[in-house]
């Protein structure tokens, strides 16, 4: 697999290099040179395969000979060793594609666990690697759990202090061992900026064996393509005819993966990019002006991102495929409407959480009569117990995965959003 840097087309790397580097020169994102297309006949066979075998097939089409099929098979089986996507009907023509039955109850388990497998494949020389990542809530947990107790891997996770739910925090800030967490006195965008700065510092990068596990890492995106195929495989032939998928977006990794699946020939009619009040992309699609505002805290906190990292990839894909950006559905949903939507969903018998609700609301508004809609369930509702219990007047039970960590002390460090301090921390620990 060859990839090029979106900020410097001359810089080309292979898949393993791209995973290792995270970002290219000038903080450019890597993007595939070839966009494989599955012929219609083969697509039919692929859809009929089981989730794991199909995922190996898709990933091997993308990655090529850099990783042997037998290794890839091993990695996929170890990474996706939890209940896969699950389709739950919500209304007559809308279902939720639940992606949250993994070890940290969010879709990020797919990408993070596959990435961990690839990193350990890379690290056959057993060099020390530092995984530095910023999280707006769920990445931290997925990455921390995916790398927990891995030999020679130190994980350092930055998150905006007080801006993630206490249950999210408990999932990754209570682990210790090779997992270090830092509560940053700032927004997620500031955490992300610190990570970017660290990557721009060559000496630091070299000295600490720096690697990122953010959704900028191509291995995560590739892994996520697999569940779009599974979602398609799980719905009926009738539902497949005019399929619209609404994606709750933060950094736009999930949407990028879905669009990549479509570019490979998966017949998804269209996507809806759903955001909360952090609506840089919806405003851009409406006005043509890219104008990020300061980040706003909302109840769908994993989407509180006003400078979405993966957006350049979305634009590149549209331009490469000659798709018109105007065909991308979009919308932004306020907290007040999100709360109403949660109640509405609860009343029709589906307990959801704020992120999925944002996507559901837009799907319900925009879906035409002859279409079938899927909205992605990106996290388990119990992860947002602190908000949904109040809104829905329920007492959602905590699954054991959440209950055990919520009883442990938080081990996080604390830091102002200051790069010098972070650098000192990374080199002296
Ligand atoms: C990360 C996350 C999102 C946003 O996904 P992106 O790939 O960053 O767009 C949405 N919902 C939840 C629950 C998340 O954890």
Q: How far is CA 335 from CA 236, 268, 339, 346, in A?
A: 33, 29, 6, 16
Take atom 2 of ligand 1 and give the residue whose Cα is closest. Answer: 302
Q: How far is CA 141 from CA 40, 156, 169, 379, 397, in A?
A: 38, 12, 8, 12, 20
* Residue 133 CA, ligand 1 centroid: distance in Å: 15
* Residue 286 CA, ligand 1 centroid: distance in Å: 22
Q: Is the CB of 254 under 6 A from ligand 1?
A: yes
Cβ neighbours around 68 below 10 Å, total:
10
Q: 174-208 pLDDT, tens per residue?
A: 999 999 999 999 998 899 899 989 988 989 988 99
Q: 200-259 pLDDT, tens per residue?
A: 898 998 899 888 777 689 999 999 999 999 999 999 999 999 999 999 999 999 999 999
Considering the segment(s) 84-106+219-397 as one domain, its CATH architecture is 3-Layer(aba) Sandwich (3.40)
- Ligand 1, pocket-test mutation among 378, 385, 388, most atoms within 8 A of CB: 378
Q: How far apart are CA 151 and CA 128, in angstroms?
A: 9
Helix, strand or coil, per DSSP, at residue 39:
coil
Q: Is the CB of 359 under 6 A from ligand 1?
A: no
Q: Please report the pLDDT score of residue 233 as a whole number.
A: 98
In the chain, domain spans: 84-106+219-397
pTM score of the predicted model:
0.93
- Ligand 1, pocket-test mutation among 110, 138, 333, most atoms within 8 A of CB: 138
Chain Cα centroid distance, residue 390 = 27
Q: Please report the pLDDT score of residue 386 as a whole number.
A: 87
Chain Cα centroid distance, residue 303 = 10
Take atom 1 of ligand 1 and give the residue whose Cα is closest. Answer: 302
Q: Is the CB of 384 under 6 A from ligand 1?
A: no
Is 125 a residue whose pLDDT tops 90? Answer: no
Q: State in Å, rounded, how far the first CA of the chain is from the last one.
A: 36
């Amino acid at each position: 697999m060859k990839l090029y840097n979106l900020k410097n087309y001359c810089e080309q790397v292979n898949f393993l290099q791209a995973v290792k580097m995270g970002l290219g020169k000038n903080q450019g994102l890597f993007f595939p040179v070839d966009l494989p297309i599955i012929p219609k006949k083969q697509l039919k066979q692929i859809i009929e395969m089981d989730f794991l075998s199909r995922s190996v097939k898709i990933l091997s089409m993308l990655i090529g000979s850099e990783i042997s099929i037998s290794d890839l098979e091993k990695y996929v089986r170890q990474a996706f060793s939890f209940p896969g996507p699950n389709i739950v009907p919500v209304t007559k023509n809308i279902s939720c594609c639940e992606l949250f039955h993994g070890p940290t109850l969010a879709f990020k388990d797919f990408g993070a666990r596959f990435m961990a497998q690839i990193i350990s494949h890379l690290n056959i020389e057993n060099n020390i690697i530092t995984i530095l990542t910023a999280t707006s809530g769920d990445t931290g947990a997925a990455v921390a759990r995916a790398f927990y107790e891995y030999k020679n891997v130190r994980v350092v996770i930055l998150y905006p202090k007080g801006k993630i739910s206490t249950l999210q925090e408990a999932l990754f800030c209570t682990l210790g061992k090779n997992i270090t967490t830092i509560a940053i006195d700032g927004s997620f965008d500031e955490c992300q900026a610190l990570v970017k700065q660290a990557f721009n510092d060559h000496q630091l990068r070299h000295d600490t064996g720096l690697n990122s596990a953010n959704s900028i890492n191509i291995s995560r995106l590739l892994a996520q393509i697999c569940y779009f195929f599974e979602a398609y495989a799980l719905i009926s032939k009738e539902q497949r005819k005019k399929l619209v998928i609404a994606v709750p977006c933060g950094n736009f990794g999930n949407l990028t993966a879905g669009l990549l699946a479509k570019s490979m020939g998966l017949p998804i009619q269209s996507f809806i990019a759903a955001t909360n009040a952090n609506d840089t992309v919806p405003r851009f699609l409406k006005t043509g002006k890219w104008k990020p505002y300061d980040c706003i805290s909302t109840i769908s906190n994993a989407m509180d991102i006003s400078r979405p990292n993966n957006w350049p990839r979305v634009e590149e894909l549209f331009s490469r495929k000659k798709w018109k950006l105007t065909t991308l559905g979009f919308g932004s949903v306020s907290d007040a409407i999100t709360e109403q939507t949660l109640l509405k969903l609860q009343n029709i018998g589906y307990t959801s959480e704020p992120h999925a609700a944002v996507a559901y609301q837009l799907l319900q508004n925009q879906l035409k009569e002859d279409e079938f809609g899927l909205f992605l369930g990106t996290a388990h509702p119990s992860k947002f117990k602190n908000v949904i219990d109040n809104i829905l007047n329920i007492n959602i039970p905590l699954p054991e995965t959440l209950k055990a960590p919520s009883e442990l002390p938080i081990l996080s460090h604390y830091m102002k959003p200051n790069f010098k301090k972070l650098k000192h921390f990374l080199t002296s620990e």
